[in-house]
Amino acid sequence: MTKTAEIATPISEASANGHEMRVLLAEDTPISAEAMKAMALHCSVELDIAHNGLQAIEMVVNAKAKGRPYSLLLIDVMMPILDGVEATKRLRAKGFDAKQLPIVAVTAASSFDEVRSYRASGMQAFLEKPVAMADFKATLEAWGHGDKGTKTHPDPKIDPVVLASLTKQFTDRNLRTLELIETALGSETITSSAENEIRNLLHQIAGTAATFGDAELSQAARTHEYALIGSGDDQEALRLNLGDAARTLRRRQL
């Protein structure tokens, strides 16, 4: 069973304008973006990348104006500047309906209430992180439209130099997260800005760790992220949950 889930009826007919399948990915984490770019290459699909929701809106509008509209928007739910839900609402308000531009959430958050919020914003489905090749291909087949289908090539490869750079970024981000947690725990009061920064970093780790063969860390980071959300303003709970997250990250450094 794939992790792709529908939250509306799939669009099966091809683009009326006869355009090739062009996909836009809105993703602020380079590791996730590079991995999905390799998957797109594997499927012979053109994929562009936006780094936040505001940039995604601009690229969608410009692509249509140039006569080369996107067939599908894959959008991360949590991004800086403008998140995926708000970006979807704005695109729908601009007249990009579900038939013209299907939108699929890319997220590690897939509870009933969260999925309901995606549907309410105008999204058609969600793709759970970490994204597997089979799930990515199934999403293109269910929601992408255009004259060119998803022709599969041999195993998708990320350039070794790029992979080495992304691996270093992944390791550095884990270390930075641990350092921020230790700084927060050493302070008299854990500020909301510090908590939010740590939570966002844990969210990114949850979405990318499995890409580097550490599914256990991916699940643990997701658990810690949700625990912080549940802590609210309770300083004692925040310290307890941050301590748990720190122990998880320290074990990865041994």
pLDDT tens per residue across span 15-68: 334 457 899 999 988 888 888 888 888 888 899 999 999 999 999 999 999 999
Kindly report the average pLDDT of the chain as a whole number: 83
**What percent of the chain stands above pLDDT 90?**
42
pLDDT band of 92, cuts 50, 70, 90: very high
| Residue 235 near residue 190, CB atoms below 8 Å | yes
User: Exposed, middle or buried, 113 (CB in 10 Å: 0-12/13-18/19+)?
Assistant: exposed
| Residue 94 near residue 61, CB atoms below 8 Å | yes
pLDDT band of 147, cuts 50, 70, 90: very low
CA distance 46 to 48: 7
